[in-house]
Structure formats: C-alpha cells, structure tokens
Amino acid sequence: MMNIKKLIKPFLDLVFPATCICCGASTEASGKSICNWCRHDRFEKAELVTKEILPAGVHFQFSLWMFDKGGYLQKLLHDLKYNFMMGVGEELGNLAGIEFLKSAEEEILKNLKVQRVLIVPVPLHRKKERERGYNQARAIAAGFSRSTGWDLLEKGVISRVKRTKTQTGLSLTDRSENLNGAFQINRKAHFHGAYVIIIDDVYTTGATSFELAGALLADGVTGAAIVTVAKA
Ligand SMILES: [Zn+2]
C-alpha cells in the first residue's frame, strides 16, 4: 500500500516549510514545531517560587520561561491563544514538564510522589472557548501530563461561570474582586484528597490561578501548585 503521507510530504513542505513556529528558523529533520534554540536557549528560564507571595495552600509556582514583552515568546503565546495550535501547546506543556522534573527541589518531588496529583487546566468561559475553538491551557496541560505522567483532569469538571472583564490594568485586589466566584466545581467528590497542579499559559499576578486554587482548596484538595509556560 502506498504511504500517502510520504507521497504528499514534498508538497506539504512547499506550502508549509518546516520552520520554527516561534522564530522562523528551519526545523528540518527535527520533527518539532519549535526549533532547538527556542526550546533550550532563546528564553530566560524562570525560577521556581515557593515563597510567601503565594496564598496559603499554594505550595509552589513554576514557569518554563520569563515573558519577553514584544518578543518571540509574546507572539507565540498570542498565536497559541487565537490560532488553534493544539500541537504547539502540547509541545510547550511537554517541555515545561521535562524542565520542571529537572529543576524542582527534591522535597517538592518527594511530596508529589506520595500524592494523587491531578493536572487542572484553567477553564475558559464556554462562550470564549467556542469563539476560539479550544482552550490553550488544556493543550499545555495535556503536554505537561504526558511528560510527568500525572493525570489530566477531564473536561467539564470545572466551569468558568463568570465572563470576566479583561484583567489588564487592574491591581491584584481589583483582579481578585473581578474574579470572585468565577469558577464552579461541577463534580465535587472528584477532588477530595487530590493534589492539584493548575496550568495556564502566562502567570502575571496569579489572580486567576489563586481564585481557582481557593475554590479547589475549599473543596478538599490537599494542596495546590501553579505551572505556566511564561511568567510576566
Ligand atoms: Zn525558533
């Protein structure tokens, strides 16, 4: 039988050349949509945070990279949000998982080993998800789940019930007020005794993930953590 993929590959390469989705460099032969330089060296690595700026019950915050305003990463994250790049989101989440396991302190990993860990993507409001076609946080979470082996929360367990205004320009206090009651947990027993790792694309003030963590902690999770691709 003829291999269709092999047959049409030269034509696909003509129309969609194998270039890095982030910087445009050639990714020929790597089979990845992000080039090795972007994957490993282009962006500044972010440090894992376990300190007092996190609310009670939230144990650590990890981001793959520091946000580069006006740069390649900003454009990539924008494209990820609006251009239905499921595969790229998964690739970024997978990379975040690999880096997390490599750089997290022994104590954190030891604690996670004895927990039932659930990977929880920050849900989008139903209308917003319909407009965009998918939730970029879920794509990242799927990749993170693949490289860490922790279970990805199925769809529909949590909903975003409040269509919040844009957070830009609001202080942390105003942001949390804006987000108050934004999430609704539909299947409560699901979380009892679990440890949740909340996944989003960008960590700015943390208001969104803090609100979600608060709702889950009130519902009986043993602890929460936040992982994102970028940190502003
Ligand atoms: Zn690149």
pLDDT along the chain (232 residues), means of 10: 62 68 85 89 92 90 93 93 91 96 95 96 94 95 98 94 73 77 86 95 93 93 97 94
Query: Domain range holding 26?
Result: 1-42
Whole-number Å distance, alpha carbon 41 to ligand 1 midpoint, is: 10
- Helix (H/G/I), strand (E/B), else coil: 222: coil
Residue 72 shares a structural domain with residue 113 = yes
**What is the pLDDT at residue 65?**
97
Residue 48 shares a structural domain with residue 4 = no
Residue 122 shares a structural domain with residue 31 = no
Whole-number Å distance, alpha carbon 198 to ligand 1 midpoint, is: 27
Residue 15 shares a structural domain with residue 94 = no
Whole-number Å distance, alpha carbon 34 to ligand 1 midpoint, is: 5
Whole-number Å distance, alpha carbon 8 to ligand 1 midpoint, is: 25
Stated length of the chain: 232
Contacts 24+ apart (CB under 8 A), 125-132: 125/160, 125/161, 125/162, 125/163, 125/164, 126/159, 126/160, 127/163, 128/160, 128/163, 132/81, 132/82, 132/84
Whole-number Å distance, alpha carbon 226 to ligand 1 midpoint, is: 26
Residue 30 shares a structural domain with residue 64 = no
Query: 37-71, pLDDT tens digit by residue?
Result: 999 999 999 989 987 789 999 999 999 999 988 89
Whole-number Å distance, alpha carbon 26 to ligand 1 midpoint, is: 8
CATH of the domain at 176: 3.40.50.2020
Give CA torsion, residues 151, 197, 89, 123, to 10 deg.
100
Residue 56 shares a structural domain with residue 35 = no
Residue 24 shares a structural domain with residue 131 = no
Whole-number Å distance, alpha carbon 75 to ligand 1 midpoint, is: 12
Residue 28 shares a structural domain with residue 111 = no
**What is the pLDDT at residue 151?**
97
Number of domains in the chain: 2
Residue 83 shares a structural domain with residue 193 = yes
Residue 8 shares a structural domain with residue 76 = no
- Helix (H/G/I), strand (E/B), else coil: 140: helix
How much is the pTM?
0.89
